[in-house]
Amino acid sequence: MKTRMITFEDGLRLVHAQMEGVRSVAIGVMTGAGSGNETPENNGISHFIEHMYFKGTKTRSSYDIVKQIDALGAQINAYTAKQATCFYTICVDDESEKCAEILSDILFDSTFDPEEMEREKKVVLEEISMCDDDYADVCADTASKLYFGSDPLGMPILGTRGNVKRFTRDDLLGYIGKNYNVGSTVISIAGNISFEKAEEIVRKYFVGRWSGGERDWRDRPRTPEAAEEYVFKDIEQSHITVTFGSVPYSSKNDISVMLLNTILGGGMSSRLFYEVREKLGLAYSVYSYSGTYVNNGTLNVYIGTNPASVGKAADVAADVIADIKKNGLSREEFDRGLQQLRGAYVLGQESSGALMRILAKHALFTGETFDFAGRIDEISRLDYAAASEAIANELDLSRACVAYVGRKTDKDLLERFTSRA
């Protein structure tokens, strides 16, 4: 599969991949405007704007948008992340231009009607309430706040209730004018569509529509000290998230860290899953996950456990992490993990939607086209000794950030991790 990228005369970038054997086309517009752009005073505005783009244009009501998309047998949606917002449509190949026109309409001709804003505020406030009731998410957000401190990456994507209630139409238009510009936007198209057709669609519906400007990646590299925070709730399950500093998105060691994450807690054969759940039955849910940003990265461990097992589950997880930190991965784990990574990249090329998102994020973060064949080759050629050296620099237990949500406990969770440094 060949990927290509061009830059139009106004500075807008198109990244494209033509896929054989599929009938779908995914068209995504990714802009570098996420909660990482925000301040405490406007936290949540990126996500609220994402919602409002679907609430009506000069020629379409919100119902017209979804009705016309449904009539085409297509999908249209969006999501907000820490450093990006993506608006996208996925459709049958012969409807790609019609769907692109609708996507263009919502991006350039939305009205942000004040009455629609008030209705949508209620929707977002309900979304915040739902997230407040998802204690695993609360725990993850608490750990993120501990790790990033005052950096905007530590703020929640949904924002705060007070901010959402205060947003005005002028607030939204001002933020869009500052952060939605051609230098911070990438259009990604993947599926059964030629490069020439993709270029024609982008030129017709998107080129020349954004103002000039560049994305200011505001996150700065961090090396925080160890910290902990306890949020006591009278709930049935206790939640623990442990966050460690890791490599940024384009690090030369990113494959080694992905391998580490896979073996640590990336699946049912991972060390954490086997030791904490299968061997001792201390948790139903235990896993690790990474967060990669332009200038920062995190490696995180999550444990959902019975309140009576909090201390023991934390001890076992800390032992697993300390053992990997000291002894690295076995050769068998190394080989198995590489095979899992290779499989993930191969399978990731079979979904037009997934491929569109990968290409868009890589182009936005690096300015380059993602090379799947080259990536798979990199994974195949990864050296065991070099990977072991890179992994040895991860999981600094002396700087662990530990968040806990659950019933009141006298367990010192942070000490369980830092004492094994």
Q: Cα(88)–Cα(96) distance, rounded to whole angstroms?
A: 11
At residue 194, what is the residue type?
S
Is residue 50 part of the annotated active site? The answer reads yes
Strand order in the sheet with 401-406: 227-232, 401-406, 238-245, 297-305, 283-292
**Could you say which of 50, 120, 275, 394 is catalytic?**
50
Three-class SS of residue 344? helix
Q: Cα(138)–Cα(136) distance, rounded to whole angstroms?
A: 5
Scored b (16 or more CB within 10 A) or e, 126-143 reads eebeeeeeebbbbbbbbb
Structure-block tokens of residue 91: 């459709």
Nearest to 4 by CA among 12, 14, 346, 207: 14
Q: Which phi-psi region, left, alpha or beta, contains residue 380 (left: φ > 0; alpha: ψ -120 to 50)?
A: alpha
Sheet strands (E) in 32-129: 75-80, 85-92
- Angle made by CA atoms 391, 395, 399, in degrees to the nearest 5: 145
Find the helix or strand (DSSP H, E) in which 285 lies.
strand 283-292
C-alpha count within 13 angstroms, C-beta hemisphere, residue 191 = 24
Is there a contact between 355 and 19 (Cβ–Cβ < 8 Å)?
A: yes
Is there a contact between 71 and 99 (Cβ–Cβ < 8 Å)?
A: no
Say which residues have a Cβ less than 8 Å from residue 31's Cβ, sequence separation at least 6.
84, 85, 86, 179, 180, 184, 185, 186, 364
Name the residues annotated as catalytic: 50
